[in-house]
Amino acid sequence: MTGDAIAGDLRRGLPSVDALLRRGETDEWIGRWGREPVTMAIRRVLDENRRTLDGGGTVPDDDSLLAAALGVLETDRPSLRPVINATGVILHTNLGRAPLAEAAIAAATEVARGYSSLEYDLDEGKRGDRYEHCASLVCLLSGSESALVVNNNAAAVSLAINSLARGREVLVSRGELVEIGGGFRIPEVIEQSGAFLRAVGTTNRTRIDDYRRAITPSTGLLLKVHPSNYRVEGFVEETRTAELAELGRSVKLPVMHDLGSGLLFPDDLPVTLPEPRVRDSVASGADLVTWSGDKLLGGPQAGIIHGRAAVVDRLRDNPLSRAFRVDKMTLAALEATLRLYLSPELATSAIPVLRMLVTPVERVTERARAALSDLTAVAAERVTVASMRSVLGGGTAPGFELPSAGWIVSGSAEAHDSGLRAFDPPIVGRIEGRNLRLDFRTVREGEEAIVSAAVNRLIREEQGDT
């Protein structure tokens, strides 16, 4: 018999997918993962064995094949997974920015589970407007006449410019031509929105007269951009929103203020952030204000637009608004988040971003020290509680830091970092110098035991005791 024939006989010795699915243990797997994932795992194992047996060998028994399929099911995780943020960066863009409040999670889950009144007016029994679910709350909290929500702030800026200045010039201070995350730049956003950029003033100083002299019959919009991801110090001057709004009214041009992050914080928070307040921008007379839902608001990714009703209506009527619209889960989570702001005390306790910002460093230190009790004696010798500095992140409040505390894990920082990222759930820390730091300000309450278990495993494996 030839080698090919022998190899072919070996492959024919493997059981079928259906034969393995009929085994009793697969019933539990199907209940846990679903029939299709179990079938795919078994098929994957059989295909791998067919390739192996192509060169000869021994046909594995059914128990071995099922054990391999179970291994596939347990390790084949989705690529988008929850992680524990121990970096000390509260709005970590790479880790999904703002974690949602429980009320927002519950609201999104509820509307995802079945049908909803997304675009249906229950009182009138006819088609409704999806944006009404959040518009009234945005207006109430900001002091605006009208509001609109799109899928992120870049979309908000693009829709506004396209609606108000398509084919015309947009005047922006040179000091506000920022680049936001992912390499997106304000000049490119303006141009791709169908308008023409005209920079005024200088990088460090722009006065109201710079705008006034630049206005021509081709001007369509006066735009002010808050440079939230950097700051200029020293010999600087910027035009106030109120000045720009007054100029806009005098020449009948709309004035837009892109805040980037947006600050709806209560006035009596124990933390003062170097960010403009949403209500202040509206009160200054801006016709349109835009900002992000997933930064300082602590909600889902969204672009929040509000201002004078006549101006917002122009954006609402733009066909691009459909391309930028948000889905029912985003609207539900955003509405629930906004409702929390109706009670400042509730907002600071229920919204994770606000809670992280206002938690005293003493409390963070206390949590870091208490978690030491979950470490083994060997691991505890490698961990030190130390003072740290947390930051906001997400292109917000550059240079702003909060005193914090956490663990310094001595040893190979790179090995510990990769080891924690391989844990389930993955834990992302920060390497500084030669050690790994785990900042407990961004480790959420209830996650301390998971961090301790991961560090115990790291040190145990490092000692060679698996």
pLDDT value at position 420?
94
Q: Do 336 and 263 lie in a common domain? A: yes
Q: What percent of the chain has pLDDT over 90?
A: 66
Q: Do 361 and 394 lie in a common domain? A: yes
324 burial via Cβ count (<10 Å: 0-12, 13-18, 19+): buried
Residue ending a domain, among 300, 322, 350, is 350
Categorize the per-residue pLDDT at 283 as very low, low, confident or very high, splitting at 50, 70 and 90. Answer: very high
Q: Is the pLDDT of residue 8 over 70?
A: no
What residues pair up with 402 in beta bridges, in sequence order? 390
Q: Do 257 and 320 lie in a common domain? A: yes
- Rounded to whole angstroms, the Cα distance separating 403 from 440 reads 11
Q: Do 379 and 346 lie in a common domain? A: no
pLDDT value at position 2?
36
The Cα-based distances of 357 to 88, 190, 230, 431 in angstroms read 11, 34, 20, 22
- Overall average pLDDT of the 419-442 stretch: 92
Q: Do 182 and 300 lie in a common domain? A: yes
- Rounded to whole angstroms, the Cα distance separating 293 from 261 reads 8
pLDDT value at position 3?
41
| pLDDT tens figures, 206-250 | 899 999 999 999 999 999 998 765 566 666 678 899 999 999 999
Categorize the per-residue pLDDT at 262 as very low, low, confident or very high, splitting at 50, 70 and 90. Answer: confident
pLDDT value at position 428?
96
pLDDT value at position 7?
43
Residues in the chain: 466
Arithmetic mean of pLDDT over the chain: 89
Structural domain including 388 reads: 84-93+356-462
- Rounded to whole angstroms, the Cα distance separating 406 from 288 reads 42
pLDDT value at position 12?
82
Q: Do 136 and 32 lie in a common domain? A: no
Q: Do 132 and 153 lie in a common domain? A: yes
Q: Is the pLDDT of residue 43 over 90?
A: yes
Asked if the bond preceding 425 is cis, omega within 30° of 0, the reply is yes
| pLDDT tens figures, 165-183 | 999 999 999 887 877 665 6
Number of domains composing the chain: 3
Residue ending a domain, among 296, 325, 350, is 350
Residue 331 — left, alpha, or beta (φ > 0 → left; ψ -120 to 50 → alpha)?
alpha
Q: Do 57 and 118 lie in a common domain? A: no
